[in-house]
Structure formats: structure tokens, C-alpha cells
Amino acid sequence: MSETLVAGIDSSTQSTKVLLVRASDGVVVDQASAPHPNGTSVHPDAWWEALQQAGSGLLERASAIGVGGQQHGMVALDASGEVVRDALLWNDLRSAPQISTVVEHLGGPQACADAIGSVPAASFTVTKLRWMAEHEPENAARTAAVLLPHDWLTWKLGGGTGNTGMTTDHGDASGTGYYSPARRDWIPELAAWALGRETAPVLPRLVAPGAVAGHTPNGVPLSAGTGDNMAAALGLAIASGEVVVSIGTSGTAFCIADTECADPTGSVSGFADATGHYLPLVCTINASRILSVIGGLLGVDHDEFARLAFAGDVGAGGLTLLPYLDGERTPNRPSATGVFAGLTSGATRENLARAAVESLLCSLADAVDALDVKPTRVLMIGGGSRNPAVQQLAPGVFGQSVQVLEPGEYVALGAARQAAWALSGAAEPPIWAAAPFQEFTGVPTPVVRAQYDALRDATVGW
């Protein structure tokens, strides 16, 4: 008897990845990927073409399919189901001026956070809809339905036509800015207002966690799908009290919570997760680029940079970097730049590298603090987590041991786990083996956080 296989899809900013996974234990048996075009606005057909390429020979073998996708992206469709304009992605910042418009419309930061779980950033779909209403009113008028990237791909996999049969999950919906995590339902009147009209567009039907959302034309079940952060949490099977710190181009820290979040400062996005719980998440703009920029200034490669940093002094000999190289989101300092303090004639290359690593870790520790949870376990993922200096110095900055997970396609794995869950009809997701990790321990180094905190607080008005 052949083994039951499920497929998990990760449609990210850069590419589509497809994993074919054993439903019984989560073992990956095959995988493929295909690139996406560059840019912050992309026609969704490019995602579909990449999925056809990456999924060829894999999707046909799957007994169920789940899609994880980049959050927030705006896919606007007309009454016939045709794309109105290129999708605006999460990293398209043209709608930044509309943030204050949305917040003011909802009654200020606290009322906004209470209503939609977050004070939105420019990434949120609601700001993009408002931008389109103000700058492309003809496109806003043509828009009959609004989907997120994963919604659109799930709909396409189901052979969708017109603007019917569209589905989504609570996790990805919670990043739109017109969904209430507290009520776990859409706020259609807010979507209508964002588009500058009285009638709301068609919004995808919300599918319960673990439920079947639809079927392909060949009868293969489709799970609800979810956003990339929610899919990663599902792929990692994180439990209450565990915090994931991801170090990529941007940095994130997130955890599972039993109650919704409503942070008026905008630091914490109060998302729902893919299991019926919540996923408070904090994002920093600057992460692994901090290391590459300082390494480039020092003229060293990744390995030599790590060696220099590890050879530096605790606290980098009094040298402190505030790493807001391209502005910052947490804390909200969009116009900030990087600041070095404590630079003297005695500065060394080792301490310059050390200051860069310590600043990255302190920025991420600030993100963890913003979650307002005392972590029982800190898990690190992402390309930056593979830097040896980051691994060795993280326990000191976080004040506890840190587990660095083996590199893996955790978003696609989470989508596959959701597909296996939907296929099983069970009340809970299947239990798969935990991701392999390497644990790092160290002596707490509070002086590092103290130096960093002092510089961060002293530069508020800069």
C-alpha cells in the first residue's frame, strides 16, 4: 500500500517552493522551487506560473494541498475574476501616507488596535486599498473582490472562476486591517471605506482551522492555507511560551497566545494563527543586513567577520551600535539612521564586528520584550541565525539558552501539515517530529543590553 503524501506550498516574495511530505510523519520526500520576478508590485500570474513549474510532478502525487503565502499583498479582481492591477506586495511602501488616514478613521491608535488587532504599517492591505482609492479611483471602482496572495493561489488551484468560491483562513485575514481578531470575522464596512465606496468588495469565506476549503478539479482536498508567518509557526509546532526569532533581511519575533493582542504603540501586530489561537508578532526592518554592511566596511567575508566578532570584548569595549540603518519599525523610527557611540582611538576591528552582532541581538531582544512574554524556549531561524558569532553571543544577550534550528522550508512544511490536518478530519494537527536544532548556552551579559538601551533611549529625538 502506497504512503499518503501531502503538498505544502510557500509562495514567498522571491519564489515558490513546493514540498511533498508524508502525511503520517512529516518526512519530506521531494521538493522543487521556481523564482518570482523582482519588484514590490507583481502580476499574480507570475506566482501561478512559478507554482506550475515548481509543482510539476509533485502536486499530482499529493492527496491534499495547502498554500502558505506572503502576508498582506493586495490582489484586486473585477467582477469576472480578472486581475485589476498588479498586486501590491507587503514590501511596497507607497501606501505609508495612508496609515494615518486609517488610524484616524478608526479613532486613534488604541481604538485602531482594539478594532483590527494592530496599528497598521504600510504593509497592511487596508492601507493599499486606501491608496488605490485615492490614486487609482478607476481601479478601485472596478474592484469586485479582494484577496491575499495565498487566497488567490488556493482559488486558482480549485479552478476558480468569476469572483465566487474564494476562501481564506483567520491567520492571513488578520493581517489585512479589515478583520477583527477579537470577533474573528471580517469588518466589511472598513474594506468598503478603504476603497472609497459604500458597498464592500467580496471578501473570501473564512475557513475554520483544519477544515477543507475546497477541492481541485481532480477532487484533491485543499486546506484553508495561511500567511507565511502562521505557516512557519505551524511547521515548527511551537507551543505556548516558546518564542521564535527569525533573522532574515528583516527580523521577526513571534509566539503563540491564547488571547488577542491590541498594542496601541504599533510594535506588536495582533495576528491570529492557523490553529485557532493568536500569533502576536514584532518585526524589525534591520536584521542580517547589519552584519553584511559592517562586514563590508571591514572588508571581510562572513567567516572572517564571525571570527572577528567572537574575538571582540563583551560590550565591544564600550562601543555600541544602534543599527537602524534604513529607519526602523520597532521602535517606530522611520527616518532614523545608524549611530555608533563610544568610538575611541582604541577601537579595534574585532570590537567593530562585535558591536554589530551585539546590536542585532539587542534589537531582536527588544522585539521579544515587546511580546510581553517570558520565553520558556527561544528558537532561532533564518539565514542570520547561521552566523557562528550570532549563535555564540545570543544566549548572553537573551539571558537564556538558544536553540538554532536546522535550515528548512518551514513555511511550506507548515502548509503541508495543515493539508494533512484537513485530510485527516481530526480536531488537532498531526504530530510530526520536532525540527532538529543545536543548542547554545552562555553566561548572561546584561552590560550589553544596558549599553544598547542607553543609546536607544538617548536618541529618541534624533
Q: How many Cβ atoms from other residues are within 10 Å of residue 33's Cβ? A: 17
Q: Identify the CA nearest to 199 among candidates 189, 209, 212.
A: 189
Neighbours of 94 (CB within 10 A): 15
User: In terms of Cα–Cα distance, which of 413, 170, 148 is closest to 275?
Assistant: 170
Q: Which helix (H) or strand (E) holds 370?
A: helix 349-370
Beta-bridge partners for 168: 206
| Inter-CA distances, 370 with 256, 280, 332, 398, 444, Å | 14, 10, 12, 13, 20
Handedness of CA 94, 97, 101, 106 (dihedral sign): positive
Torsion sign over Cα 132, 41, 51, 211: negative
The C-alpha angle with vertex 426 and arms to 276 and 212, in degrees rounded to 5, equals: 70
What's the CA gap between 446 and 449, in Å, rounded?
Answer: 5
The Cβ of residue 236 has, within 10 Å, a number of other Cβ atoms equal to 20
Of 366, 368, 279, the residue nearest 331 (C-alpha): 366
Are the CB atoms for 196 and 190 separated by under 8 Å? no
* Known catalytic residue at 228: yes
User: For residue 221, with 0-12 CB atoms within 10 Å meaning exposed, 13-18 middle and 19 or more buried, which class applies?
Assistant: buried
Q: What distance in Å separates the CA atoms of residue 339 and residue 244, rounded to the nearest whole number? A: 27
Q: Which of 228, 263, 273, 366 is catalytic?
A: 228
Work out the number of other CB atoms within 10 angstroms of the CB of residue 180.
18
Name the pairing type of β-strands 268-272 and 278-284: antiparallel
DSSP 74: B
Distance CA 231, CA 273 (A): 8
- Omega of the bond leading into 331 within 30 degrees of 0 (cis): yes
Question: What does the block give as the cell for 174?
Answer: 488578520
Active site residues: 228
